[in-house]
Amino acid sequence: MDEDAARAAIVAYGRRLYERGLVAGSSGNLSVRLDDGTLVVTPTTRSLGSLEPEDLVRCGADGTSLDATRRPTSELPLHVAAYRARPDVRCVIHTHPTYCVGWSKTGALFPLDTVGAIESLGPIAFTRYARSGTQELADRCADAFAADVDTIVMERHGLSCVAADLETAFLRTDLAEQTAHIEFAAFVLRTSNRIPSMTNEPNASNALPPAPGARPDLPLGDLRSAAGDEPEAHAALDRFHTEFSSASPDAARLGEHAEGVRGFASVAGPFERWWLDPRVQAFVAELGATGI
């Protein structure tokens, strides 16, 4: 892709991101790496929905601006670090999608068990919070990209995708947000203890009554398999399991240990699905109410 084509493509995809609601205001940024290694990036403090090709900024591979009249995005260190970590990628899309950011504030990655996520999205990394525009943030993302992950959810921040072309990066961004949205809807349905009826009767619904007093089974074996070779994740599971299986589990400590488990991306998805099951939540709520 030559520079003119790169500028036209960035403008077009910036508008698609804005119209799709994946960015708002002046948030979000894109870049393309040209054949000579230089970068074409979006400018700072500008809406992606209203850019023109001449508004974009050309930078060196090290992030040095080659345009004296415009300032590149403040997230340029992230882009430079991503390209350094992944010589195979030619573009970076960084956005602030609502549901991805909402899930990131829980300290855990949303589950990735839908058909779309499994077949089309691939693995996603979760990176802990670092200030926007800093080298610390860039380095954390670069470490994840270097592990051959193409999509990153950044705690309290947004989503970053890399790819060989802007279309693929856009599709990953769009699908990640849809997946986060679906999981939010599923969370609401599960925690409300009700699911829509499959009958044709108007206003009908099927209750999912919890079983007060019954201690749900903890799928510890499956969770340990998901944790893989992460000793800290296994330690977090041990703390949770010890409290959960005790004769008199404490609801507050159980919640704290659950947050600890959810902090590990490898195990967060399967643990979240179990933890948010209405039967589990009913058991924990009863602990808090009765002190048993």
Q: Kindly report the CATH number assigned to the domain that includes residue 28.
A: 3.40.225.10
User: Is residue 31 a contact partner of residue 42, using CB atoms and an 8 Å limit?
Assistant: yes
In a domain, 194, yes or no: no
Phi, then psi, of 166 in degrees rounded to 5: -70, -30
Structure token pair of residue 154: 């950044």
User: Is residue 216 a contact partner of residue 277, using CB atoms and an 8 Å limit?
Assistant: yes
Question: Is 30 found in the same domain as 167?
Answer: yes
In a domain, 60, yes or no: yes
Segments of the chain with pLDDT less than 70: 192-213, 288-292
In a domain, 254, yes or no: yes
Question: Is 92 found in the same domain as 232?
Answer: no
User: Is residue 193 a contact partner of residue 207, using CB atoms and an 8 Å limit?
Assistant: yes
Judging by DSSP bridges, how do beta strands 39-41 and 151-154 pair with one another? unpaired
What was the pLDDT predicted at 252? Answer: 85
What was the pLDDT predicted at 289? Answer: 53
Sign of torsion over alpha carbons 139, 144, 147, 152:
negative
Between the two ends of the chain, the Cα-to-Cα distance in Å is: 66
Spatial separation of the C-alpha atoms in residues 96 and 9, rounded to whole Å: 20
What's the pTM value of the predicted model, to 2 decimals?
A: 0.69
In a domain, 113, yes or no: yes
Question: Is 54 found in the same domain as 145?
Answer: yes
What was the pLDDT predicted at 182? Answer: 92
What was the pLDDT predicted at 209? Answer: 40
What was the pLDDT predicted at 211? Answer: 39
Identity of the residue numbered 189: L
Question: Is 55 found in the same domain as 150?
Answer: yes
Domain of residue 214 covers 208-290
Question: Is 212 found in the same domain as 168?
Answer: no
Question: Is 144 found in the same domain as 241?
Answer: no
Question: Is 169 found in the same domain as 25?
Answer: yes
Question: Is 141 found in the same domain as 11?
Answer: yes
Boundary residue ending a domain (127, 159, 175) = 175
Question: Is 266 found in the same domain as 139?
Answer: no
Question: Is 247 found in the same domain as 170?
Answer: no
What was the pLDDT predicted at 109? Answer: 84
Judging by DSSP bridges, how do beta strands 57-59 and 39-41 pair with one another? antiparallel
In a domain, 181, yes or no: no
Return all residues near 146 (Cβ < 8 A) that are at least 6 apart: 85, 86
Question: Is 250 found in the same domain as 107?
Answer: no
Question: Is 157 found in the same domain as 25?
Answer: yes
Spatial separation of the C-alpha atoms in residues 237 and 227, rounded to whole Å: 9
